[in-house]
Structure 1
Amino acid sequence: MSFTAFQLPMHASNARNLLGGLVLGALLSACASPPAGGVKVVDRTHGAAGQGSLRQPVTNGQYQVQRGDTLYSIAFRFGWDWKALAARNRIAPPYLIRVGQIIRFDGQPASRPPSVATAPVVVTPPSRPSVPIQSRPIQTQPSASVKTAPSITALPPTQRSASGWLWPSNGAVIGRFSSNGSLNKGIDIAGDLGQPVLAASDGSVVYAGSGLRGYGELVIIKHSDTYVSAYGHNRRLLVQEGQKVKAGQKIAEMGSTGTDRVKLHFEVRRQGKPVDPLQYLPKR
């Protein structure tokens, strides 16, 4: 006996309900099953599109201290607040680190440094020619008219912002801060080769060297437990690590090390995270 196949007519609303149920089931099934290959890898190098989130600190792996490193330069390189990195690795004041020492970012116990490198890191800045002293004719005016801070007078009047910061150099801003950590973490200021670079606020030099790739000859100044500033691409550094500086003091000469043109790259970091320097500098 044969039967004739036939279909019952389906109402439009029933069809939509059935289709919605199938789609929902497929989504739930996909959520319940892990993707092929295991856990999904999330790229944290760049912020989510349109959200302007900053690059997050490295939170896995470890770093072995090299000659010339300081705790501050390592924290700067890997996006950490130096106090937090010191606490994670149980490094107590005065925050000395040693060649071969392991700095961990994941909270695991750090291994002891090799026995052959038990002495603290001694940073010896490369010898630099002294600044030539130009003889000047004897002035007939009273001695009170003599300038006592020639490095500061190389720029227009050093007007401070309400928060106490001043411009680190005189020139047009040719690169602005980007909240996306993969782009510019500071501002770029154009200028001439050898132009003075000034400390933007009082502080202590915690790094002076060329060990951070992409910054050339770099100075990092610690202003407080919260703020540090960085000055990159210099031709010559005029300060050493551990040296205290005043706002407006000449700390370097502008150059093009590590980049393709003469400019100053200037950064401000708050608790290890880059912030827009223009929020702290005086309005022009």
Structure 2
Amino acid sequence: MGKEFTKGFKRFACAALVALLAACGSAPVGPGFYRVERGDTLYKIARSNRQSVSSIVRWNNLPNPDAIEVGQVLRVSPPAGSSAASSAGAQRTAPRASSSASAAASTPRDSSADTASPSAAPAAPISLVWPSAGQVIRSFDGRDSKGIDIVNSPGTPIVAAAPGTVVYAGNGLRGYGNLLIIKHGGDYLTAYAHNQALFVKEGQAVAQGQKIAEMGNSDNDRVMLHFELRYQGRSIDPTRDLPPR
């Protein structure tokens, strides 16, 4: 499941870092727009422009974030006059400021990020609580399983494993149902997949142990929670920072 989860992020992330347009002979586009090039992913385009994937999907009315085409021009900054546009200017003048967009840049990366080098040793451990009650039916191995799977009955409460900010809440990732991603301090990230219902929104701060979802089987063949812990984009075993059961 973990390996498929990582591949799913590759599919969902549909566009790349801005490259030299002259290199491919494309006509230039105006400020706030980007022309899709071969190999681009939406996640990388969002990251390089300090935006969230969901914002770019909304600004461009993309019916399927997995289906962008080479040569397609995308809006990568808020439309003029929107509240997001006024705040975007402040973010550009203070690029280190905390925001859900910059936090989203740390979302789980593609499989190459996990295998390019040994997992980075966290500078400090993170104190987690179990995200749900239930039986662990699949453990982390760092290769085929990038997280753990917990089974229980439909509607079992899902809680935030640590305090943080929601950087993704939605069901745009085919095969993983209702998904939540939470950014924590110290370059940590947790992800919660296959939920029956979501109770938090992007940009919302959550407390450790706060109910954020209910267990379900959205885009899955059984009721379960797929839970991942990431450090600097690389998956690590969440059980090492969870209390004994």
Under TM normalisation by the shorter chain, which class is it? 0.5 to 0.7
**Cα distance per residue 1:46-98 (max 9 Å; x no partner):** 9xxxxxxx99x97xx9618xxxxxxxxxxxxx8x8x9x983xx2x34899953
Give the secondary structure class of the aligned counterpart of 2:169. strand
CA contact (8 A) 2:150 2:226 kept: yes
> What's the offset of the Cα at 1:118?
3.9
Q: In 2, distance between residues paired with 1:121 and 1:214?
A: 33
Instruction: Give 2:236's aligned residue.
Output: 275
For the pair shown, the structure with the greater C-alpha radius of gyration is: 1
Which residue of the other structure, out of 161, 169, 173, is the alignment partner of 2:136? 173
Q: Say whether residues 1:198 and 2:156 are aligned partners.
A: no
Give the secondary structure class of the aligned counterpart of 1:233. strand
Q: TM-score, normalised by structure 1?
A: 0.48
Which residue of the other structure, out of 205, 211, 215, is the alignment partner of 2:176? 215
Distance of aligned partners of 1:281 and 1:97 in 2 relative to their CA distance in 1, 3 Å threshold: same
Which residue of the other structure, out of 258, 262, 280, is the alignment partner of 2:223? 262
Q: In 1, distance between residues paired with 2:53 and 2:149?
A: 31
Instruction: Give 1:246's aligned residue.
Output: 207
Amino acid paired to 1:177: F
Q: In 2, distance between residues paired with 1:250 and 1:225?
A: 22
Which has the larger helix fraction?
2
Give the secondary structure class of the aligned counterpart of 1:63. coil
CA contact (8 A) 1:194 1:254 kept: yes
CA contact (8 A) 2:136 2:151 kept: yes
Instruction: Give 1:63's aligned residue.
Output: 15
CA contact (8 A) 2:139 2:145 kept: yes
Q: In 1, distance between residues paired with 2:60 and 2:83?
A: 10
**Cα distance per residue 1:109-128 (max 9 Å; x no partner):** x996359x846798xxxxxx
Q: In 1, distance between residues paired with 2:201 and 2:157?
A: 16
Q: In 2, distance between residues paired with 1:261 and 1:121?
A: 41
Q: In 1, distance between residues paired with 2:52 and 2:138?
A: 36
Distance of aligned partners of 1:283 and 1:241 in 2 relative to their CA distance in 1, 3 Å threshold: same
Instruction: Give 1:186's aligned residue.
Output: 147
Query: How many residue pairs get matched?
Result: 160
| Aligned residue runs from structure 1 range 42-121, under 5 A | 63=15, 86=47, 89=48, 91-92=49-50, 98=56, 99-100=59-60, 113-114=74-75, 118=79
Which residue of the other structure, out of 185, 188, 197, is the alignment partner of 1:236? 197
CA contact (8 A) 1:204 1:243 kept: yes
The percentage of counterpart residues that share the same residue type is 43
CA contact (8 A) 2:46 2:53 kept: no
Q: In 1, distance between residues paired with 2:199 and 2:230?
A: 22
CA contact (8 A) 1:96 1:121 kept: no
CA contact (8 A) 1:97 1:121 kept: no
> What's the offset of the Cα at 1:185?
1.4
Amino acid paired to 2:193: G
Q: TM-score, normalised by structure 2?
A: 0.55
**Cα distance per residue 1:5-27 (max 9 Å; x no partner):** xxxxxxxxxxxxxxxxxxxxxxx
Instruction: Give 1:224's aligned residue.
Output: 185
Q: In 1, distance between residues paired with 2:15 and 2:83?
A: 15
> What's the offset of the Cα at 1:184?
1.9
Q: Which runs of 5+ in 2 are unaligned?
A: 17-40, 62-70, 85-124
CA contact (8 A) 2:160 2:209 kept: yes
